[in-house]
Amino acid sequence: MAANSPKGGQLARQAAMLCQDAQFQLYLDRRRRAKHGMTESQLPDGTHNTDDARDWLCAACQIQSRAELDHHVTAAATFRRIRQRFLSWKQQGGHQP
């Protein structure tokens, strides 16, 4: 990490744990299928892994590193919305993204 790179804090840790969560990875599979009108045979469950989840989250939050979540208000707000949508999906049984 470069000397001028932001250091991650609580949000970065939460994001790392989220990206490692198999249920979040499944959420991304199902979300992508729904968004693009794909079938499960076109994008099977289990397609997204930890690295894919990290890449997707960084792109969605418009950041290069999860550490930036603790330093950019807009990225942090986006992350919180994503996490809340995932938690709602999970509470509903994981059927619709």
pTM over 0.75: yes
- The answer to the question of residue 97 being in a domain is no
> What tokens does 55 get?
């890449």
Q: What is the DSSP string of 25-74?
A: HHHHHHHHHHHHT--TTTS-TT---HHHHHHHHHHHHT-SSGGGGGT-HH
- Report the domain count for the chain: 1
Q: Which domain holds residue 18?
A: 10-34+47-91
- The answer to the question of residue 3 being in a domain is no
Distance from first CA to last CA of the chain, Å, rounded?
34
- The answer to the question of residue 4 being in a domain is no
Contacts of 83 (CB under 8 A, 6+ apart): 14, 18
- The answer to the question of residue 1 being in a domain is no
- The answer to the question of residue 70 being in a domain is yes
- The answer to the question of residue 40 being in a domain is no
Q: What is the mean pLDDT of each run of 10 residues along the chain (97 residues)?
A: 68 98 97 95 96 98 97 97 96 75
In whole angstroms, what is the distance from residue 35 CA to residue 67 CA? 28
Query: Is residue 93 within a helix (H) or strand (E), and if so which, with residue range?
Result: none
